[in-house]
Amino acid sequence: MAHKSPQVFSIDGVIPVIHPSSFVDSSAVIIGDVVIGANCYIGPNVSLRGDMASIQIGEGSNIQDNCTLHCMTGIPTIIGEWGHIGHGAVVHSARLEKNVLVGMNAVVMDESVVGENSVVAAMAFVKTGMEIPENSLVAGVPARIIRRLRPEEIEWKRDGTRCYHELVERCKASLEAVDALTEKENNRPSLNVSMIDKKA
Residues 76-114: tens digit of each pLDDT? 999 999 999 999 999 999 999 999 999 999 999 999 999
Which class is 7-151 in CATH? mainly beta
- Residue 44: which region, alpha, beta or left (left: phi > 0; alpha: psi -120 to 50)? beta
| Cα 128 to Cα 134: distance, rounded to the nearest angstrom | 18
105 neighbors 68 (Cβ within 8 angstroms): no
Q: What is the pLDDT of residue 149?
A: 97
Q: What is the pLDDT of residue 162?
A: 95
Phi, psi torsion values for 169, nearest 5 degrees: -65, -45
Q: What is the pLDDT of residue 196?
A: 54
Hey, which residues does 48 pair with through a beta bridge? 30, 69
> 4 falls in which pLDDT band (50, 70, 90)?
confident
| Cα 163 to Cα 175: distance, rounded to the nearest angstrom | 16
Phi, psi torsion values for 183, nearest 5 degrees: -155, 160
Q: What is the pLDDT of residue 5?
A: 82
DSSP assignment of 131-148: EE-TTEEEETTTTEEEEE
Task: Give the contacts of 18 (CB within 8 A, at least 6 positions apart).
Answer: 6, 8, 24, 30, 36
| Cα 192 to Cα 200: distance, rounded to the nearest angstrom | 21
Q: What stretch of H or E contains 163?
A: helix 151-174
